[in-house]
Each structure stands twice: as C-alpha cells, then as structure tokens.
Structure 1
Amino acid sequence: MLLRTLGEARLEGAASDLAGRRKDLALLAYLARKSPRAVSRAELADLLWEDRDAARARQSLRQALLELKRVVGEGLVAAADQARLEPDAVDLDVREFEAAIAAGRLDDAVSWWQGDFLAGLEETAGESLRVWLEVEREVLRRSLGFALDRLTAEASGRGEWDRALEWAERWTRFLPDDDRGHIRLIETLRLAGRASEARVRYTNFEARLRSDLEREPSAELKALGLRIERELSRAQDSHRPGSAALFTPDLVGRSAPLAELAAGWDAARAGNVTVVVVEGETGIGKTRLVEEFVRQTEASGAAVVISLSAGAAGAEDSLASALLTRLGSAPGLGGASPATLAAIAARVPGVRERFPGAAFEVAPVGLDSAAAEALSVVSEERPVLLFLDDVERADGVTLASIATITRSAAGRVLIVLAVGENDSSGSVPAGLAAGSRPRRLKLPPLTATEVEALVASMLVLPAAERHTLATRLHEEAGGNPLYTIELAAALVDEGVLAVGQRGAWTLGHPERWSVPLSGSLRTMIERRTGRLSDEARIVAETVARLGPVAGETAVRAATNLSGDRFDAGRDELMARRLLRAAPPPGGGYQFHHQLVRRAILEEAARRERDLTVGRAPGDAPRRRTRLAVGVAGGLLAVALGFLAIRHLILPSPAGPPDRRQVLITAPDMTSGSSADDSVTAKLFVTALEQALSSRTPPPSLVQGTLVRMRRTDTLAVPDKATAREVAARAGVRMLLIPTVGRSRGRLRVGYRLENPANGETFGGSEQETQGDAQVPSTVERVAESAEREVSSAVTLVPRPDPLPAVTTTSLEALRLYASGERLTNLGEPAHTMLLRAVAIDTAFASAEALLAYLYWFAYDQRAAERHASAAIRALAGLPPGESLKARLDVANALEDWPTAIDCARALIERNPKASNPWQTLGQLLYFDRQFAAAIEAYDSARVRMSGGSEVPLLINRATVVARVGRLEEAVKEYEQAFAADPAILRHPYVNHEYGAVLARLGRVAEARAAYGARLAGTPEERAAAFRSMALLEANGGRFARASELLDDAVTGSTATGDTLGAAVGLLLRAAVGMTRGDTAAPLSDLAAVERYAAATPLPYEVVAHAVKLLARAGATPRAASLLARLQSQTTAVSDPARARLLIARGEVLLAAGETLEGRGAIEQALALDPTTDAKESAAFAAAAAGSPAQAAQRYDSLAADRGIDWDGHVVIELGNYLAARAWDSAGRPDRARLRYQKFLADWSAEPFDSTLPAVEDARRRLSRP
C-alpha cells in the first residue's frame, strides 16, 4: 500500500482506500511520520479532535484506529494508552521523496511532488493540527526548493537552457511564494539570451509581491531587475560602431554571504556585539562583498559605518588612532568617560569644542580601550558597522589591537574582518585567537553558471558564445572572480574578444587563446606559491611541466622524491587548493586554476635563467612555521584540555635564525694531498669557523642534532653526507665543503657552497700557495672570501624550516612526523603520516607517543595502548625534554593521571616561573578528581600570569570549584570570563557547565536563557544546545518537553554527520523514554547507538551507559554483547574508566539474575569513583539484592542533591521517588510518605510531566489510607 500525502491524501493499493476520510488519512499520515515511535492516545485525540470534549475525542480516535486496523492490519499496533505504525506497514511518498534527495536522485524526488503535504486538510483542522501541518510543509518545501535549485543550476552549468528553464518553471509552479524560484527563473531567462522575457517575468512577480503578498521585493530581486535593465540598454548601445569597453562587472554568486552578513547585522542591532570573519583566497571577492554590504547599510541610513585597512597600520597606535578619528564626530560620543574623551581629543581637536563641558584634563586611557568604549557608547545612539580589510597583512601590534577591541566592545556593534591567505596555519591570524569567537564566512569559488552571469554583466554576447567563453574562463580561473575579470580584459587586449563590423562583441576561436599573464595576476599567484615547502614546490613544478593533466605514475617518477616526501608535497598542495585529483577515467593531478600552472612554469623558467647567468632570483618567502597551541592560547574548557596539554612542551628550535646560514663540513682532501696537509686542513677549518662564527649554527645545536640521529661521535666535524642531514633537520641554508689538495706540488686551499636539499653547487673559490710560509695568509684570504660569498649567497637558497627536535635515525621518518604534527595542530587527521614514520623507524618514540595520544583522542583505546607500549619501549636514551613530552603523551593516552601529573610537576621544575605548566597541572589534577589540589594549581598559575587572556584560566577554575560545591564562586568566575570575552558564553562545554551551576542554584530561567544563546550558532552547536536544554527540562520534571528537544538534537546531529552527537542524543532520548515508562522506542534508539558503536569508536562513557540502559530495559543479551565490545576496546587504567566498566558489568550481571556478583562489581565502582551514576546503580543493586533500607539510604543521598549529574543519567532526577519506593519495601511507610510528598513538591512550582508513571504512582500511593 502506498500512502500519498504530497497533494491530496489517498491510500493506493488497499482494499479500502479510505477515500474522503480526511481525519483517518491524517491519523495514518501522522503515525507514519512518527514511526517507529509510539504516540500517546491523548496526543492523537488532542491533535485531530481538539474541538470535542475529551470523552468524544477518545471515542472518535478509537473508531479511526479500528478503521485503520481493518485496512492496515498487524502493521498498526494500538495499545491501551498509545499507538504506533510499523515502518513497513505502508509505503509513504514523503519517505521516498526524502530518500531520493538524500541519495542525490533529485529528478526522482521532484517526480513525487504533486502538491503540498496533505493539501486541503487545514480547512477542517484545529489549531494543533494546523501547526503540525505547517511545520511539516515548510520542511518539505525547503527540500523541494533545494532539489529544484540544484537541478536548475546543473542544467545551466551545462548550457542546457531549455532544461534549466523547465526546472525553474516547475519551481515557481510548485512553490509560487518562494522568491528564490522566481529569481532563478528570471536569471536563467537572462542567461539564455531572453532578457526581454526576463523583464516581463520580473515585472509580473514584482507586482504580485506588492499587491497580493503585500511585501517589498528582496534586495537580490531588485538587483536582478536593475541588471536586466542595464543589459537591455547595453544591447541597444553595443551595436554602435567602436564600442569596445567592458562594463564594470556585477557582484554575482554572493547572495548567501550577503545574507550571512545581514544576519550578523541583525544580531548586532539587537544588542549583541558580533564579529564576522570573511575568508578566502586572493581575488575571491572579500573586499567587493563587504563593500557592497557597506553600501547597502549606508543606504539604509541610521547607522555609523567605518571602513579601515588593518594592513595599512604601521605605527603602534595607527589603527586605534584612525578609528578614534572616524568616531570623533559620531553621534552619541558624549556618553564616553572623561578618560576616553581625553584620548580622542588628543587626536581629534574638534572634540574639545564639541563637548566644552567635559573634563579633558584627566589622564587618558589606552587607545585600544578608548576605541572599544567609543564604539560602545556610539552604538547606543546608532548601530555601528566597522569593516577592517587586509587583516592578514596586519602586524602583531595591530592584531593585538583588533583582538582587544573585539573583546572589549559592547552594544550594537558589527565588526567585519576581511582576511586573506597568510603564513599562519589558519586563515584567521593567530593574534585574533584571544578575541571574540567570530562567525566564519569562507567565500567559495564561483560556479560555471555564476561565471557566465559575471561575463554577461561585462559584455553582451550571443548566448552560445557567452557560454563557451564562460566555460573556458571557469576552467582557466577556477571560479576566482578577479582572475576571471583579469583574463577577460586580457582577451580583449589580445583581440580574442573583439567588436565586429556592426559594433557587436564577437568571440574568436577558443583554440587560438594564448593569453599572457598580467603583472597583477602573476604577483597574486606568486604570493600563494612562494610559501610552499621544498617538496610541494618540486611536485608543483613537475605536474606543471607534464601538462594540464599529469598521471600519478609519471609525476612520482619525474620528481625523484621518495614516496613519503612526494605524498607530503602533494598533500600540502591539495590542502592549499592549488592541486586536485583529475576526474576519471584518466585520473592523476591537475591545478585548480590553470593560471597557477602557467605562473609556476614561468617562474621555474625565470629561476633557471637567473641561475644560469649567476643572478639571484630573490629570497623566497620563509615557509610557514608551526604555531604551538597552549592552554592560555585558546583551549577554554576542561573537557577540551587534553589536546592542549601536549602542546605546552613542544620544543622550540634552539639558536636564532641568522646562525643557520651555513654548516661547515669535514674538509675534502683532494688527490695529491699528503698526510702533512691534514694539519693545514684543520687550520683552514678553524679559520672558516672564526670568519663565519655569526653565520654557523652553535656547536650545541649540531651536537644535539647528531645525538637525536643516534650518532656516537658528536664532537667531530661532520662529513658531507652527515652534514646534509644535519642541515635538513636543523634548518640550515647551505653547506660549505673545505677543499685541500696539491697541484704540481703546490698546495691549493678552497671551498664549495652546496644546497643541502639537492646537492647543487652554486659557489666556491680556490687559491694556490707559493710556499709553506704563505699558507696562513692564503688560508685567511680564502676564509674572508668565504664569508663574503656566504653573505651574498643566502638569497640563492630559501631558508628551510627546522624539523622537530626529536630522536630518529631516519630523515624520511622525521619529515613524516613533522607533517603529522603539523596536521595535528591544524585539527586534521595525521594517523597515516605517523604510521608511515614508525614503519620506517620502529624505535621512533615520539611518533609512537603521538600516535597513542591521537588514537586515545579518537576513542580507540586499544590502538592507543599498542602505540603507547611501543613508545615506552623506545624511550631509553632520549634527551630529557623529549622524553618528558613523549611520557606525557603516553600518560594521556593511557589515562594514567598520576604519571601525567608527575610529568607536569617536572615541567614546572624546568620552568617554575611560567603560568602554563601550572595550568596543565591543574587540568590533570581535575581529571584525577583531586579538585582541591587543582584549585591550588590554578591559583599558582594566576599568580604567574604576565599578560595574555585570563579567560581560559577563569573557565577551568570555575568548573573545578563547582565540583566542590562552591557554586556562587563558580558563577562569579564564569561571568568574569564572559565579561572579558562575551563569545565564550556560546562555547558548548562552557555554556553547558554554566547552565548546570545556575540550575543547581535554582536559577532555572537564567540557565534556560544561557542555553538558548547557543541556538544562533552552527547546526552542531544547535544540536548540542538542544541536548543541554533537554537535561534542564528533565531536571524540572518536564520529560515530555525534554523528549521533543532531544528529537531536534538527534535530527540536527544526524543531518550534519556528527556521529558522537547523534549517539549521545539517542542515548539521552532512550533514558528519557524509559523514565516516562516506554521501552519500545528507547530500545530502537539504543539499537542505533549499538550500530554507531560497531562502526566507529565511541567514548567508553557513552557505550557503558548504553549497556546500563539495555540491561534495565530487559535486553540482557544485547547488553552483554555491547559490554563484550566495550571490554575489547577499552583499556581501563584510570579509576573513572574502571568504575564505568564495572558499573556496566554489574548491571548486566544484575539483569542476568547474578545479583551477588552484580552488586559486588557496582560496589567496587562506587569505591573507585563515587559519582552519582555509581550511587544510583549501587542503590538499584541493593534493592535487587533484597536490602531495601540500604537502597533507600542511597536514594536519599541522590535526592539531597537532585540535578547535580549532567552526564545524562536522567533516572537520577527521580531520586525522592526511588527513595520512597525503597522505604516502602523496607517497611517504613512513614519515611516513604515523606519522600513521595517531597518528590511531588519539588516539581509543583512549574508545569511538569503530570503523566509520568512515577508521578501517577506517587499520587496513588499517597492516596492510600
């Protein structure tokens, strides 16, 4: 049977199709949409018959269910208090529609659409049913709009205009009130060369909006109308002879980013300081986008708009000064403090005349603080939009100024930062890490269709020629707007685009296109490629030389790189969006932009010419260095502290960079030299070391590098092969090889300069002595010559980054480790690189330790244990600092907190005045449940802080003090952190813990408001917010509301591919369902958790609690199976981990009837880690073992602090009820009655889930005589 709901409802394929029975069909559709979850009869009656009294509504429901049962059969399960429909009872067109969209079969999805969901049913529906219908319809309409948008865009991209118009027409027919469909139809008509028809469609839709829908056209629609009018005007003008100028291009493909900026502006105008970071590669249109938004904002009036270039700041106070100068005449400035007005008056003389009564003689505040306050007070009068461009070019002082201003400003302020590519590990410069948590807006390249729209705005061409031109430009420029515009202009200059005899634009033959790169394009591309590593540069040049598409085998062979170095270079190019995999069937590699390939070829040819004639091609920009991340640098929550700990002790390269220019090798004794000449060689080496003392690495660096190479002779001057590896590890530019030999009996002394990366010789000198008496002077002259040549040769060889200072005998393994560590710091998967490294060097302790840490962080404890064991075996002989770092990684991976704490204390001994090691110690003590000691460690860290943000320290300390019951102090510290950085309130973990503390203080409304602040974030953040809100509602007895919120949480996490979030949401929903007396739906949710656990490692806490719920629900075999999986994957070393495992084991034993063994396991868990979860299981076990008095006492303990547990153990919220049941069993009805009364009184202040089985049972028992 097929239930059709998209359009008028009908049931096909049944003996009775229920024709005309709208309510019955609506009931069937509602159950089908909720399947496999059960729905209470009360909910169904209220939904469909709310206009009737309760008795008549229930009667109507019974009759409808009987009718459906007759038609559907066993697929409809109708119990006394609920009903549900099996998933396979009927086929549902909506399910087919959604499945087709999810599978990418968009045309199939559209074919299912015959109208709105349950069309016409709203005519007889009550309010509840109408609300449900509208929600369902809106979701389905959005899905349909998505499908039609994609289908229209794909057809347009292929130049299939008729097909594109067909999809767009359907869009406007199916969704007549959706502006996007009309805009797409009008735009497609324009691109198809039918501008006159597009104008007619635009005029008709604009009139309908104003008359029928009573609203103004959107800004995007208005812009499209203006564009059509301009094109029609140009079409007339373009036929005038001699018209050869390109029109200024329109801003295309940026409707969504403009909408994001508008959303940020709305948030700012509502009183929330908002920071939006607009990111993208050079030429992608960041400035153009924001300038258009600024123009629209200025046109709307009633706003203060300021645009500045952060990259132009040079002097220390130039950015703040420029901002204060612009704010000097702004309305509302009079509300600033005298100190701020004094700071502004020092730069804007007119301020004194404007505010004659102000006290300007006070000491002015700092410029950054003055700028932040001025923004805040001005925003009270009018909202402020501050646009800072070129942030990636700002110096450190300017970045610090931006961070301070964004953190300190308040009120109706929107700060937009345009950030291009820079040398840091991310798009946002590191100096902003301490500022407000921004919204990130990364601009994508234009699609082929959008490039065609861009071309259409620049010149008028016949549709076919325009499509050909746009397709070629998209291939060449990869969707980069600036590259596209520059290429189009170059094509005009070259005559490929020309004006014909009638004055109209014409396109030459595409095969004749050979456009030289303009200077501006070449500069932009060289800025991107100049930061590449040696491996990436070699791979890029090789791919470029082999053609537009290069096969992988050919590229690997031509680079002459080892497999690992090739992979590292290729991965870097792909990460930077320079290279991509070529499409099948050919495969291989190609550049994202063919322009990049041409620029790389031209640069390689120019460099080869320069080297041939002996002229330096210029000093290549220094490669990006890895940025170590410490706790005080941005990891804000204890729950995320694991990742911070290991970065605190990453070694920094020893020695200043200018002492890594040249490394002197052992002398090369050429043919003819005698044994006596070795004395001269030593004299020569000594003279070279003295002459180049400021350019050679310090001996300690060379010796330390040799130690980490496991070389035994670390004091001798290294031979050339060894020196090459030392140079690669330590980051030395060049080698100097002294040469000593004889020719015709005369001593010759000289040297060669080599590039250690490729062995290329690029300099040298040699002199001949006339006799032994001249040897010292000759040696001195040659040494001086070497110093001069090294000084000038540094521009020939790019300065390489030093590799990590860790011990391994293999340079290849070290390079892989460096790549893996860099990926780890970027938050990217690094396992593959590190596994290759340990395969090459099986005694590579640091790589094994990092692998152990990464597998633990990914919840794969067995893999973490394997690599931790390998690291421990290889620790012997490591330098102390490296050994400490590896031991800390291993201790984290094994959750061996005592050892990790010892490492932290050793770290403090090495640097007792630093704050970061004390913060690390505080986190580790927290993990080990030593809360008082953790607080002391955080206090020691605070005393030692010398600059930087206190926010992470405040957050971590607040979390710990809350654990020891100092709730008011915790709230104070949280709010102190929020005052310093308001964006931290939206951090998922911080926000959740803050709300939990508020709830424990009885400030539930504030907790609810805090959680609601996260709903404006990303889909993942919204899902997490729903989980927090659900726990809060359960804490207040509103389990039905909690279940609804968890529905939203699970849907959001599933849609975004957040496996862990989905598993946690399902687990919480199962717990809530079981507390409400249901088992069928919770078992279904737990089955999904089991599938997740089988497919990917989950935290042992999640799996252990799933075991507990399965055992409580009576699914003992499933609980035992999941427990076996948990035991096979978990290496329970820490007390909390062992306790979780013991609880899960005890619950399975209890469910299997082995009461004594089960209770014993749980009591062990309680002794190891007395959490509320352990207490609840211990009480449950005591009751199962026939010790109701002991069970009652433990439930009393839980009830005394109801709501302390925020890990999702929802049953704990029933503490007083459970205690009452236990006292009943213990024969103490007096105590039981008090607990029942307390249980009901706890939730009487607010509406709660009055149908909760526990509530009904408590009332029934209290009503007994």
Structure 2
Amino acid sequence: MALRIHLLGDFSIEVDGEQLPAVDSVRLQSVLAYLLLHSRARQSRQHVAFQLWPDSNEEQARRNLRKALHQLRHALPDPDRFLHVDARTVQWRADAPYTLDVDAFENELRRAAGLTDNPATQQAALAAAVAWYRGDLLPSCYDEWIVPERERLRQRLVGALERLMGLAEDHRDYAAAIDHANHLLRYDPLHEAAYRQLMRLHALNDDRAGALRVYHTCVATLQRELGVEPNPEAQAVYARLLEMEVPTSLHVQPASPSLAGERLVGRQQEWQMLRTAWQQVAHGQTHFCLIQGEAGIGKTRLAEELLAWTERQGIATARTRSYAAAGGLAYTPVIEWLRSEPLQAALATLDDIWLTELARLLPELLAERPGLPRPEPLADRWQRQRLFEALARAFLAAPSGPPQPKLLVIDDLQWCDADTLEWLRYLLHFAGRVAERGRSLTPLLVVGTARAEEIDHDHPLSALLLDLRSTGQVTEIALGPLDAAECAELATQLTNTTLDEETINQLYAQTEGNPLFIVETVRARVGDWRRETGDSSHSLRSPVS
C-alpha cells in the first residue's frame, strides 16, 4: 500500500489511486507538509509546535500539535508505517512506501545537474522536473515556515526553465524556447531578464510583432506592480526591434548562395561556442572568433547562421571576405566594413582629426566634407598608429544611446593582407584598454573563417592568434566532418525526401562527411535517384552545410 502525495499546486494524497478525504483541512495539510519536507531527521515536538503555531503559547501549541497528529493518524492507512511519534519527537518515516512530487522534482533537477556533457538527456531530465511542478508549494497555506521553502522551490523552477530556454535556443528550436519563457513568466511575472529573452526569441522566430507585444506587456506589468520602467537593457532590445525594417548588414559578394534560411545540420558544440563568445560581447567585451577547417567543411555556413541569428534580433552586422588575388592590397576587408551601413552611422560621430585619417582609405569623405583637412603621407610609424586608432574609434563608436554590440564577419582569412590582421590585433587590444578605463564603447564580435591547411607558422594570422590567446580574447573553433547520421539529415534536407540506408551509407563513404562533397554528390546523383525510385518529387534544395 503506497501513498502518492502532491504538495506542488493543489494538495492531494492518494492510496492506490483513491483520494484520502480525511486530510482536507489546510491546517492538517500544513502539518503533513512540514513532516514530509523534514523527514530526514526526527523533529522535536516543541520545535514543530512552535513552527506551526508561532502565535500561540507553548502549552496551546503543543495541544494543537497533539490534536493534529491524532487526526493524521486516523486519516492514514496503517499510520505506524508512515509516522513515528513518541513523547518528545515526531517524524515522517523516510523509508515508508510513498512518493512525493517535491522529492521527484528535486531528484530530476539533481539528475540534470550531472548531465552537463549530454545536453539531450539533460533537457529530458529538466523537462521531467518541470512537469512535476504543477504549482507553488501549498499555495493555500500562509504559515511563515513555508514561505522560504516555497520561494526556494520556485527559484529552482525558474533556473530549470532558464536552462531549458538555453538548450532549446542552442538547438535553434525557438518555438520551444518561447514556451519555456512564457512558462517562467507565469511564475515570475517581474522577471525582466525573461522578458528580454522572450523578446529576443520572438525576433529569432521571425515574429517581430510578438517581440514588441512582449515589451508592452513588460512595461504594463512593471508599471502596475512596481511603478517602474523596464531597465535600459530591455529598452535597448525594444529600440533595436523598432529599427528592424531594413536589415543593417552588408553582404559583399557571398561565397555561396545564402544559406541562413535552411536549418543548420549538426554543429551543436560549435554553435554553443559561438553563442558563448557572443555572450561575452553582450556583456561589453570585444572578442575574436576563428572558425577553421578544410575547404567545404561548412565554415561559412556556420558564420552565416550567426549572422542570421543576430540580424533577426535587430543587431547591426557587417560582412566581408578576402580574395587570393587581393592579398597584396592593404585594408581591403576593412574598407568594405567601413562602407557598410552600421559603420557609416558611426563615422558621423567622429571628430575631423580621425576622419582625416580615415580619408586615406575612404577618399569619398573628402568629397562629402570639402572642409576636411587632407591626410599627410604615411612617412613615420606614429602616423600609422594614428590611422590604426582612427579605425578603432570608427568601429567602436556608438552612434547614439547606450552602446549596442555589433557582429563583423570576414571569410577566407588565409588570404587576408598582413596590414588588416595587424590592425585587428590593435583593435582588440585598444578595446581592452578602453574597457579597463571604464569608458563606453561598442562591443564587437569579429568572426573569421580560414582554411586550416593554408595557415602555417609564418602566416600573419598565426601571430594574431598567439597574441590573443595570451589575453583570452579569442575563441578557436575547429570544424570536422559530419557523422553518418548528420550526413543522412543533410541529404534529406537537400532532396526533400528520405533516402534508403544503402544510399546514405554510399554517400557517406564517398564524401567522408564533407558537407560540400555531400551537396555536390547529391546534386550529381539526384537525377539517378529519380529514375531508380520512379519518384519525381526528388528535388535539390539549397545547400545547408
């Protein structure tokens, strides 16, 4: 005979599926809850009486406890299996045959805490924990002893939902992340960070109107409950959303057709590393991230995923690339960045002394501003340093309002000129010095891609990485091939159909998991598959690797 007890949400106690109606008073439920939640040790009757009846004198409190224990013993089947009661102490027997939803909730959370290396299993454990939490701990009980325990459990729920949001976003399952955020706000409607996160998730889910509605709800709730406005971070997210009609990004002749509309296959760990780097930038740091791998391994695709992810949140981005033929032309990628919309807006905030330096790379500034002094020839090293500082100020300047992070992407760094790489090193160090002085700047995440096989010890990129490793300003991501399951998933996306196991095995063996090779092989064989299967529905979709 086992008891099934629920303290989270509506109280209930069942024996073999049947309710025990005798435990129907709030006072008796409070006594039972106290004993259940303190079952690890025997409790002094005097202490229990004081906790449950703090406003009564000692004699009256002990009499009330004695009466409650008598009622509880009559309500429970075979009470001696569940309760230990003597003249001095009382205890709910921990080895009794029963289940308690509070225990189940916390057990699942403990299990999840040990699964950090297995996100899928951790997600399942967290979801199981949240499912046990049907409501706050005994919401009908107003005893003082229960308030801190109720709040503790609620905060554990909030933590679980925050983690579930993060895991769902890591998998780019924005609909699920939105559900978790809404669930959190039902229990903590004053959680400003959750409103901020929910706005961002709606934007990532291509629902700008939904994101704006969340902000309006946040404003109304905070004003009604606390008489305050949302914090500056939430207001900044709202401001970005209002300006989202025209994406603020520059796409300089992409290396391949845009891929961000398709779901990224695999790369969960690498995506998390990018997200972690972005979080550092969101907290005011400037950071460099290098994605390395062989040709066709998906470096550009991963960078494009981050571009799409940030643009959907209204974050300013700019993209460029290096070319093998242009490797000897200094600052070519920097010039492309400077001519993007986000950087053009920042130029308007600079003083003439810095604009004069920038005119070395942007001669159109002299035409747009006839009174701007012309730059002198770069004869000395100090003049080059002033150019570097002018460029750094242009990239770190905030056009108006609080500084908002920017994302800069540069493809094919293996062909990048030495001057640009040297300036990138200066930019990251300059940003670090400015941040140490407490001055406001626009935090940047610079993401580069490079073919690892073309970067040797003497390449200028190697010197940049060596320097940034010492300051902790770099994240290095090495992309390897897709595994067999990911190869099958990519082929399914490309053909919009499910291929048989033999075909997938052949495809994986031929391509060795290289996404570009998978795309090209599918492109070449899709006609054969149509003829073999007689299915005219096979059609090649955009590459997604």
Short-chain TM bin: 0.5 to 0.7
- From the superposition, tell whether residues 266 and 506 of structure 1 become closer, same or farther in structure 2 (CA, over 3 Å): closer
Alignment match, 1:492: 526
Q: Which residue of 1 aligns with 2:320?
A: 307
Aligned to 2:464: 431
Equivalent-residue separation in structure 2 for 1:106 and 1:350 (angstroms): 57
- What are the within-5 Å matches in structure 2 for residues 971-982 of structure 1? none
Q: Does 1:417 align with 2:448?
A: yes
Aligned pair 1:344/2:358, yes or no? yes
Gaps of at least 5 residues in structure 2 are 74-79, 184-197, 208-257, 432-440, 541-545
Correspondent of 1:368 among 388, 392, 398: 388
Asked if residue 404 in structure 1 is aligned to residue 426 in structure 2, the reply is yes
Structure 1 residue 348 displacement after superposition: 1.5
Structure 2 residue 356 is matched with structure 1 residue 322: no
Give the match's secondary structure for 2:407: strand
Cα shift at 1:259 = 7.3
Q: In structure 1, what is the equivalent of residue 538 of structure 2?
A: 505
In 2: Cα distance, 1:432 partner to 1:99 partner: 39
1:481 is the counterpart of 2:481: no
Instruction: Tell me the SS of whatever aligns to 1:331.
Output: helix
Correspondence for 1:387: 409
CA positional deviation for 1:251: 3.4
SS in 1 for 2:288: strand
User: Contact 1:400–1:432 (CA<8 Å) still a contact in 2?
Assistant: no
Could you say which residue in structure 2 is the equivalent of 1:331? 345
Q: What is the identity percentage for the equivalent residue pairs of Structure 1 and Structure 2?
A: 20
1:498-647 equivalent positions in 2, closer than 5 A: 498=531, 503-505=536-538
TM-score, with normalisation over the residues of structure 2?
0.54
**Structure-to-structure mapping, 1:1086-1097, within 5 angstroms:** none
How far did 1:137 drift? 2.7
- Give the alignment of 1:1055-1204 within 5 angstroms: none
Indicate yes or no: 2:236 matched with 1:251.
Answer: no
Q: Distance in 1 between matches of 2:137 and 2:180?
A: 22
| Map 1:930-945 → 2, pairs under 5 A | none
> Which is further off, 54-63 or 117-126?
54-63
Deviations along 1:320-352, whole A, 9 cap, x unmatched?
Answer: 753575369711314335443222112221112
Residue 137 of structure 2 corresponds to which residue in structure 1?
Answer: 121
The one-character-per-residue Cα deviations of 1:455-476 (angstroms, maximum 9, x if unpaired) are: 3332243x4x366644654565
- In structure 2, the residue matched to 1:1230 is none
* In the alignment, structure 1 residue 219 sits paired with structure 2 residue 204: yes
1:137 equivalent in structure 2: 157
Which residue does the alignment assign to 1:177? 179
CA RMSD of aligned residues (A): 6.2
Q: Is the 8 A contact 2:328 2:417 kept in 1?
A: no
Q: Which amino acid aligns with 1:456?
A: T
In structure 2, relative to structure 1, the CA distance for the partners of 1:503 and 1:30 (3 Å cut) is same
Which residue identity lines up with residue 474 of structure 2 in the other structure?
Answer: P
Q: State the match for 1:921 in structure 2.
A: none
SS in structure 2 of the partner of residue 415 of structure 1 = strand
Question: After the TM superposition, which residues 727-738 of structure 1 pair with which residues of structure 2 at under 5 Å, given as runs?
Answer: none
Structure with the largest fraction of helix: 1
2:530 and 2:536 in contact (8 A); partners too? no
SS at match of 1:414: strand
Matched residues in 1 for 2:93 and 2:474: separation? 45
Cα gap change, 1:333 to 1:467, in 2 (>3 Å):
same
- 1:294 correspondence with 2:307: yes
Q: How does 1:1041-1060 map to 2 (within 5 A)?
A: none
Shift of 1:416: 1.7
- The CA distance in 2 between the partners of 1:176 and 1:62, in whole Å, is 51
Instruction: Specify the alignment match of 1:283 in structure 2.
Output: 296
Give SS of 2:467's match. coil
CA distance in 2, matches of 1:266, 1:350: 36
Q: Is the 8 A contact 2:161 2:180 kept in 1?
A: no
Structure 1: 5+ residue stretches without partners: 153-167, 182-212, 223-246, 508-1265
Distance in 1 (alpha carbons) for counterparts of 2:83 and 2:5: 18
Q: Which has the higher contact order (CA 8 A, sep 6+)?
A: 2
TM-score normalised to the size of structure 1?
0.27
Cα offsets for 1:253-305 (capped at 9, x unmatched) = 36966676567557646644343344555433221232243355456657352
Describe the shift of the 1:384–1:148 C-alpha distance in structure 2 as closer, same or farther (beyond 3 A): closer
Change (3 A) 1:138 1:342: same
Per-residue CA shift, 1:945-987, capped at 9, x if unaligned? xxxxxxxxxxxxxxxxxxxxxxxxxxxxxxxxxxxxxxxxxxx
The match for 1:457 is 493
Distance 1:215 1:337 in 2: 34
Cα deviation, 1:751-795, whole Å, max 9, x if unaligned, reads: xxxxxxxxxxxxxxxxxxxxxxxxxxxxxxxxxxxxxxxxxxxxx
Which letter does structure 2 place at the counterpart of 1:347? L
Separation in 2, partners of 1:395, 1:61: 84
1:190-229 to 2 correspondences below 5 Å: 217=202, 219-220=204-205
* 1:221-259 alpha-carbon deviations (Å, 9 max, x no partner): 87xxxxxxxxxxxxxxxxxxxxxxxx9893323696667
Match of 2:30 in 1: 23
Partner of 2:408, secondary structure, is strand
Letter in 1 for 2:369: F
Change (3 A) 1:303 1:265: same
Contact 2:321 2:411 (8 Å CA) reproduced: yes
Q: Which amino acid aligns with 2:204?
A: A
Task: State the distance in 2 between where 1:488 and 1:12 align.
Answer: 59
Distance apart, 1:375 and its partner CA: 0.5
Shift in CA distance, 4/316, structure 1 to aligned 2, threshold 3 Å? farther
Q: What does residue range 1239-1254 of structure 1 map to in structure 2 within 5 Å?
A: none
Tell me: CA distance 1:501–1:295, structure 2 relative to 1, closer, same or farther (3 Å): same
1: CA distance, partners of 2:165 / 2:406: 35
**CA–CA distance in structure 1, aligned partners of residues 49 and 366 of structure 2:** 72
Give the aligned partner of residue 286 of structure 2.
Answer: 273
Alignment of 1:1207-1226 (within 5 A): none
Any idea what the Cα deviations from partners look like across 1:969-1026, whole Å, max 9, x if unmatched?
xxxxxxxxxxxxxxxxxxxxxxxxxxxxxxxxxxxxxxxxxxxxxxxxxxxxxxxxxx
**Residue 179 of structure 2 aligns to which amino acid in structure 1?**
D
Amino acid in structure 1 at the alignment position of 2:359: A
Cα separation, 2, equivalents of 1:400 and 1:268: 21
Distance 2:264 2:374 in 1: 49
Deviation of the 1:498 alpha carbon: 3.9
Q: Could you say what secondary structure the match of 2:328 adopts?
A: coil
Alignment deviations for residues 16-39 of structure 1 (CA, whole Å, 9 cap, x no partner): 98955543454456547xx79x9x
2:83 and 2:91 in contact (8 A); partners too:
no
Looking at structure 2, the residues matched to 73 and 99 of structure 1 have their Cα atoms a distance apart, in angstroms, of 27
Q: Does the aligned pair in 2 maintain the 1:379–1:413 contact within 8 Å?
A: no
- Per-residue deviation, 1:408: 1.6
Farther off after superposition, 399-408 or 323-332: 323-332
